[in-house]
Structure 1
Amino acid sequence: MNTIAQSRAVRLNRVLVNTYQLLSATLIFSGLMAYLSMYLQLPHFGLLITLGGYLGLLYLTNKLKNSAGGILAVFALTGFMGLTLGPMLSSYISAFSNGAELISMAMAGTGLIFLTLSFYVITSGKDFSFMRGMLMVGLVVVVLALIANYFMQIPVLSLTISAVIILLMSGFILFETSNIIHGGETNYIMATVSLFVSIFNIFVHLLSILGVFSGDD
């Protein structure tokens, strides 16, 4: 029994290590793609291209998750997300005199949120699987709110949605990290995608909130 438990612990630890290694690599690659997008001055991709590209590459990643091709698919997905981020970052730099500072603050805040939440889950060993239902309901509500605000363009609603998304994505980080260490997620490729998407959304919406309160239009 002891040997079985030790073997399971080693396997789960390997999934966690592989996830963090791949996550680090994809974050760097996505950042490089965002810089390339800014350098080339690419225009905003638009909702349909962004959503279509994301869903298509997500489907491909899920399809190849048990093969070496899954790693290439992850880099394709995160690289594409980085490219879509570039135009937004360029707009912040051009629209705000402290745009580069706002971006740095959003990056630091995102890193702090992720590291704090991950450290808490890993050290406490707490099981956050009970959050699954709440997170899925919250995700549906946020998507509906985003669609509604896409047409209404209400500033206060945008700010509220950004704050809720940050909280929701923080919940997903807790859930996914817990899922890994408790054996609910054994595929490090899909675990990486889940954590990357959460980090990406926290950064985007934290930057949006910082922009609103910067007082510099």
Structure 2
Amino acid sequence: MNNPTVHTTRQDAAAVETNKVLRNTYSLLALTLAFSAIVAGVSSAMNLPHPGILLMLVGFYGLLFLVHKTANSSAGLLSVFALTGFMGYTLGPILNMVLAGGGGDIIMLAMGGTALIFFALSAYVLTTKKDMSFLGGMMVAGFVVIVVGFVANLFLAIPALGLALSALFILFSSGAILMQTSAIIHGGERNYILATVTLFVSLYNIFISLLNLLMAFTRD
């Protein structure tokens, strides 16, 4: 027969572990967001050039690979800050471009919108405890559509397609936040470094996509 005491103890241990991963994830996320914002501010103040799409992709995926390779060691923290710092650097020239067009309000609105989306989605999962793993198939399909659309737009440069991709990025990143938060509370994710990176990249994509959409819809 099953021992109720042992079962309860296991449940308590799982709850403690879940709370620990959540606490560490959100703490590291806050630190990386602050660090990335500082780097973006420095990049903007120094008017540094954007690295270009090719170098950006190489840098991003190279550092992302490094994070995954070091996620189970103390070096993983350094890898996370290297990745988020690099993404902050790429954000600086984008902010300068928006500010040059008098888009200070657009930046603030995009920041507010990103924060609202993140807190709303996180609160939904944490409150309902709903398992969001069913989104996996749709996320794969969405990723394929985004990649195909991105490659196509490199050659076609169609404004409407760019806006559609921004909207898809927001939906895809929102799904990633739902799935990652759900994975933590249901025991599917126990590495707070990897969880932090997923949430950070999702927030970055949502912010950039909102900037693109707001600039398009507020342009005279």
TM-score bucket of the superposed structures, by smaller chain: over 0.9
- CA separation in 2, counterparts of 1:136 and 1:13? 28
Residue 166 of structure 1 aligns with which residue? 170
In structure 1, stretches of 5+ residues that fail to align are: none
- Deviating runs (4+, > 4 A) in structure 1? none
Question: Among 9, 13, 30, which residue is 1:7 paired with?
Answer: 13
2:188 counterpart letter in structure 1? G
1:17 aligns to what SS in structure 2?
Answer: helix
Residue 39 of structure 2 aligns with which residue? 33
Question: Among 56, 63, 67, which residue is 2:69 paired with?
Answer: 63
Matched, 1:16 2:19: no
How does 1:99-110 map onto structure 2 within 5 Å?
99-110=103-114
Matched, 1:80 2:86: yes
Residue 181 of structure 1 aligns with which residue? 185
Question: Among 33, 40, 49, which residue is 1:43 paired with?
Answer: 49
Residue 4 of structure 2 aligns with which residue? none
1:48 counterpart letter in structure 2? L
Question: Among 138, 141, 145, which residue is 2:145 paired with?
Answer: 141
2:33 counterpart letter in structure 1? L
2:44 counterpart letter in structure 1? M
Question: Among 201, 208, 214, which residue is 2:205 paired with?
Answer: 201
Alignment coverage as a number of residue pairs? 214
2:122 counterpart letter in structure 1? S
Give identity over the alignment, percent. Answer: 52
Residue 59 of structure 2 aligns with which residue? 53
Q: Measure how far apart 1:137 and its partner are.
A: 1.5
1:42 aligns to what SS in structure 2?
Answer: coil
- CA separation in 2, counterparts of 1:52 and 1:215? 32
- CA separation in 2, counterparts of 1:27 and 1:62? 19
Residue 127 of structure 1 aligns with which residue? 131
Q: Measure how far apart 1:89 and its partner are.
A: 0.7
Q: Measure how far apart 1:88 and its partner are.
A: 0.7
2:174 aligns to what SS in structure 1?
Answer: helix
Q: What TM-score do you get using the length of structure 1 for normalisation?
A: 0.97
RMSD (Å), alpha carbons? 0.7
Q: What TM-score do you get using the length of structure 2 for normalisation?
A: 0.96
- CA separation in 1, counterparts of 2:173 and 2:104? 24
- CA separation in 1, counterparts of 2:191 and 2:137? 21
Q: Measure how far apart 1:215 and its partner are.
A: 2.4
Matched, 1:192 2:202: no
Greater Rg by CA: 2
In structure 2, stretches of 5+ residues that fail to align are: 1-6
1:21 counterpart letter in structure 2? S
